[in-house]
Chains A and B, each alone.
Chain A
Amino acid sequence: MASDDIYILGIYMTKFGKYPDRDTVDLAAEAVMAALADGGVTMKDMGILAAGCLMGQGGIGQQIQKQVGQTGIPVYNVSNACATGATALRTAIMAIKAGECDMGLAVGVEKLAGVGLLGASSAPKGAGKEWKATGRYGSVANTDGLIGTNNMPGTFAQVGMEYGHKYGGATFELFAKISEKNHAHSTLNPLAAYNKRMTLDEIMNDIMIAYPNTRPMCSANCDGAAAAVVVSGKKLKTLSLEQQRRAIKVSASILTSDPYQEACQVLPDVNTLTRIAATQAYEQAGVSPSDLDLVELHDCFATAELVHYDNLMLCEEGGAVDFFNSGATWRDGKTPVNVSGGLESKGHPIAATGIANIWEVCHHLRGEAGPRQIEGAKVGLAHVIGLGSACGVHILEKSAL
């Protein structure tokens, strides 16, 4: 192991679901304590804390410290939409790479159970007493629903439909089949918010939210937290053989934002920044898509999973439909995708997601995934997209020990 490499030393995710009696600090503290224990270290060893809670009031990092240990280390409270967790992890990694410390902690937590539709504007400006132009577009009324949609299911529905327009074959049934796969995968994941298998008929005939996304094709709002301890290769060499054996190498840690594209002002472009992040990640890791034993990608909606097969270059450009139809992304396929059940069934407590997907990959690379273990997994990729946009891609590799 090279001294300047970065490793995940300890990692943990809470069960995702509903926690009416626990707040974000409780959930984050559970994740932190367990990640530290998993790594065989304590708060005393941490040189930095990066924390995210997108819907919180800020200062989540310091609140967590008060729950688990206040040592005076720098705290970075990060916020980067659905890429918040990945951003926190990358922040801790950067601090180690910069030589400021040799161990760091990243944590993401969210309470979203029962929150409802994300992105939808509240209290529409109706026909008031006077049509008055306000805002950047000089609008006289709330434009959500009048000029397209602001809500997430509709936005990502258009992302998938746009792919279908470009390359064909992306039918309602195809998208529903992607969801069928993820719900089937979730039956093996005891930490998923929902782990019930659903038939294609059940998925297609469930409540339509934004065509072609029915309810089970949308990510599940839930509560949850995830935390990771990262360590430098140099420091890891001084730790026990057992710690070294279970440590997972971070072969690539990439964060991108969306570069200008013609249509990005009317439909967020989640493609270009993912493709750039993936390209950089494969290059940094010296890994090609065909080397990946499993992928956890950001299936915030079934329509999004399809486009990311292409964006992450798991298939030929334009070939995502055929790639899925070949069975490649089922857990017994060539490139298993979202064996955790994905956001559609595991759930999507926003800031936790970008660390929870790393946990899933690490779990397999350590050979600790039990009944859902992908046998012999050596290399995995975790991807998140935050609308606006931010994309995090991490490539992880099993320890050589």
Chain B
Amino acid sequence: MTTTQVPLVDYLALGAQPHLVANECTSCGARYFDRRNACASCFATEFKKVDIATEGEVRSFTIVTFAAPGVPVPFVAAIVDCGGTSVRGNVINCDPTPEKVTLGMKVRLATYSLGNDDNGAEAIGFGFEPIA
């Protein structure tokens, strides 16, 4: 029996090569991970789906050690420049310390299991891991 997998968010495409998908404005190229009625940049109304590069560079990060109840800490929240598209995600598979996480570090998209629900469906999350 194969387990059904569901992505943590709908802009995460699972499969052999997991990647993020954005709605790209066909007029100016601005990219959005959610739906827009018109492009926030140029007001055009046509969008197409585009795959986001799975490798990138950490442009900013913070190590969160104090969060809402139920949110496990510490974790590294980061902004990753994936070939010109800024992506928000955690840095994972890496010690959450300023010695290990650095500005400009090269990372790639990685997925992990968030566990199964009562129907046996497995949720899959994503983060960015250092490229060794």
Contacts and interface: CB of A to CB of B under 8 A. Distances in A.
B30 A141 contact: no
Contact of A209 (B41, B66, B70): B66
A183 B35 CA distance: 44
B66 A143 contact: no
Contact of B65 (A120, A147, A165, A210): A210
Contact of B10 (A121, A137, A159, A172): A137
Interface string B62-93: 11111111111101011100001111111000
A124 B68 contact: yes
A342 B30 CA distance: 37
Contacts of B41: 260
B40 to A, nearest CB: 5
Interface stretch (A70-78, A128-136, A318-326): A128-136
B79 A209 contact: no
B9 interface: yes
Contacts of A154: 62, 64, 67, 77
Interface in B85-132: 85-90, 98, 103-104, 114-115, 117-119, 121, 123, 125-126
Given A117-B66, A137-B9, A208-B66, A127 B114 contact: yes
Interface residues of A, number: 51
A370 interface: no
B104 A165 contact: yes
A151 B66 CA distance: 9
A161 B60 CA distance: 5
Contacts of A123: 70
A207 B66 contact: yes
Contacts of B35: 136
Contacts of A139: 8-10
Identify which of A136, A138, A149, A157 gathers the most chain B CB atoms within 10 Å of its CB.
A149
Given A165-B60, A165-B103, A143 B118 contact: no
B118 A129 contact: yes
B79 A267 contact: yes
B123 A131 contact: yes
A271 B77 CA distance: 20
Identify which of B7, B30, B66 gathers the most chain A CB atoms within 10 Å of its CB.
B66
Interface of B: 6-11, 30, 32-35, 40-41, 59-73, 75, 77-79, 84-90, 98, 103-104, 114-115, 117-119, 121, 123, 125-126
23 contacts: A123-B70, A131-B117, A136-B34, A136-B35, A139-B10, A141-B125, A143-B9, A145-B75, A146-B114, A146-B125, A147-B90, A148-B77, A151-B68, A153-B62, A153-B66, A158-B62, A162-B60, A207-B66, A208-B65, A211-B64, A262-B84, A265-B86, A266-B87
Interface pairs A-B: 4 shortest CB-CB: A138-B10, A263-B86, A157-B62, A120-B68
Interface of A: 117, 120-124, 126-131, 133, 136-149, 151, 153-154, 157-159, 161-162, 164-165, 172, 207-213, 260, 262-263, 265-267
